[in-house]
A and B are shown apart, each in its own frame.
Chain A
């Protein structure tokens, strides 16, 4: 509910509200409210997925495994949305769908990592082995992702902000009007993502419950 309100605010004010006028960017600067929060949400979800994987390893409770998978699933969805919104935006501002940018490449490899996690899960039959082995891979993937997204892009030249040492945006890029929309947008999208995860986990639990009752 709160997520819905925040997102309505994001969409309405994000599309209608005042923005700073910039060369090249113009109205496309509004993509900040959609593209960037997708990545924030993805990172939150992948962290949550990793934490639940570790909890599963130390407790062996199957519900942690379910949480871990669903966090990774929705994280992948938001990752794909992030890469799509980014590509569309890049076509209009940088002039190409894909320009050899370290953050673009890092993001694509991150998605590959978590797709590989899904492939691994599908190729193990026994649920306990599946949970344990894929949880270990989840942790491994997470630690491979950290340098890809947070360290390597800062060491090399990038079209994205945050290259060559200074992380994120500075006051020049993001004025007060945009901040008022951007932070609620991050919160709204992240909450929406967590809500989607909850729905999927509940659905899975109900299905399992029905299955157990039927036999």
Chain B
């Protein structure tokens, strides 16, 4: 029952997105443009810089994607949802939707980066695991930040101000684990960092689930 409501809301968001394609096309354009600027400026990059640039592009793509999370849930529509579903259901569905969006974006960014700047990683599976976990974490944190920022008047600026310091720990771990994956270290060395990444994601999700109700209530 509870989960089916979440699934229903996610499907609704996906369907709306599929019909209008405004978020995904805007962010895809953003990714393409940034990748091309990076390519024009650097032409070819070292593996270490590749990782740094990748996460910077992913970070701002996440900010842009999540900024739209609560645009539809304002005014009357919000009241409607407020009566129908609980806050936990709402935040969970938004987190899932944004994470799905982030997964898609990380695939796209990886593809464009690989095309223009080359692909320094040895194992494809390892890189996709890391970028998926990173996308998930960024999706969770920025969904919550978007909920907070949607309450303020200048929410566009606030998204970046509030979000960047919050996700820096995640990004540091991500860059670290990506660099380790680059060196083709054995899995036993890398999996500790992956666990750390999962732990950060779990804490962010737990805080979001416990404290989102206070934001949802008006």
* Closest beta carbon of chain B to A152's beta carbon, Å: 6
Q: How far is the CA of A148 from the CA of B172 in the complex (A)?
A: 9
For residue A20, which residues in chain B have a CB less than 8 angstroms away from its CB? none
> Is B214 in contact with A132, judged by CB distance below 8 angstroms?
yes
Give Cα A156 to B41, complex, Å. 31
- Using an 8 Å CB-CB cutoff, how does the interface string of B126-169 with A read, 1 for contact, 0 for none? 00000000000000000011001001111000100110111111
- B166 near A136 with CB under 8 A, answer no
Determine which of B161, B172, B207 lies in contact with A119 in the assembled complex, contact meaning CB atoms within 8 Å. Answer: B161
List A residues 122-168 near B (Cβ within 8 Å).
123-125, 129, 132-133, 135-137, 139-141, 143-144, 147-148, 152, 155-156
What are 15 sample pairs from A and B whose C-beta atoms fall under 8 A apart?
A: A57-B211, A110-B165, A113-B165, A116-B162, A120-B148, A120-B158, A123-B158, A129-B151, A132-B214, A132-B215, A136-B211, A139-B207, A140-B144, A143-B203, A152-B172
Report whether A135 and B153 are in contact in the complex, using a CB–CB cutoff of 8 Å. no
Question: How many whole Å from A149's CB to the nearest CB in chain B?
Answer: 10
Please state if B148 and A125 are interface contacts (CB–CB under 8 Å): no
B200 interface residue per 8 A CB criterion: yes
Task: List the 9 closest A-B pairs by CB distance, nearest first.
Answer: A113-B165, A123-B152, A112-B165, A147-B169, A144-B166, A136-B211, A133-B151, A116-B161, A124-B152
Residues in A whose Cβ lies below 8 Å from that of B214: 57, 132, 135-136
Query: Interface residues of B toward A: which range?
Result: 20 to 34
Query: Is B153 within 8 A of A125, CB to CB?
Result: yes
Other than A109-B165, A141-B166, give 6 A-B pairs with Cβ distance below 8 A: A112-B165, A116-B162, A119-B162, A124-B151, A141-B165, A144-B166
In the complex, the number of residue pairs spanning A and B with C-beta atoms less than 8 Å apart equals: 73
Q: Restricting to A87-133, which residues have a CB under 8 Å from any CB of B? A: 109-110, 112-113, 116, 119-120, 123-125, 129, 132-133
Interface of A: prevailing SS = helix
Considering only residues 166-189 of chain B, those with a C-beta below 8 Å from chain A are 166-169, 172-173, 176
Q: Considering the complex, give the chain A residue whose CB is closest to the CB of B199.
A: A147
**Contacting B165 at CB < 8 Å: which of A136, A139, A144?**
A144
Question: CA of A152 to CA of B175 in the docked complex: distance in angstroms?
Answer: 13
CA distance A116 to B215 in the complex (A): 18
Q: State in angstroms the CA–CA spacing of A98 and B11 once bound together.
A: 49
Residues of A within 8 A of B161 (CB): 116, 119-120
Q: Mark B188-218, 1 if CB is under 8 A from A, else 0.
A: 0000000000001001100100011011011
A158 CB to closest chain B CB (Å) equals 13
Given contacts A135-B214, A136-B211, A137-B148, contact A116 B153 (CB under 8 A): no
Residues 13-39 of chain B: 1 if any A CB is under 8 Å from the residue's CB, otherwise 0?
000000000000000000000000000
> With the chains together, A115 CA to B148 CA distance in Å?
16
Closest chain B residue to A110, Cβ basis? B165
- Give the complex CA separation of A76 and B105 in angstroms: 37
Q: Is the CB of A140 within 8 A of B215?
A: no
User: Judging by beta carbons under 8 Å apart, are A133 and B153 in contact?
Assistant: no
Instruction: Kindly list chain A residues whose C-beta atoms are within 8 Å of the C-beta of B215.
Output: 132-133, 136
Report if A113-B166 is in contact (Cβ < 8 Å); known contacts: A120-B152, A140-B207: yes
Pick from B148, B158, B167, B176: contact of A136, CB under 8 Å: B148
Q: Is the CB of A140 within 8 A of B166?
A: yes
Distance between Cα atoms of A71 and B212 in the complex (Å) = 23
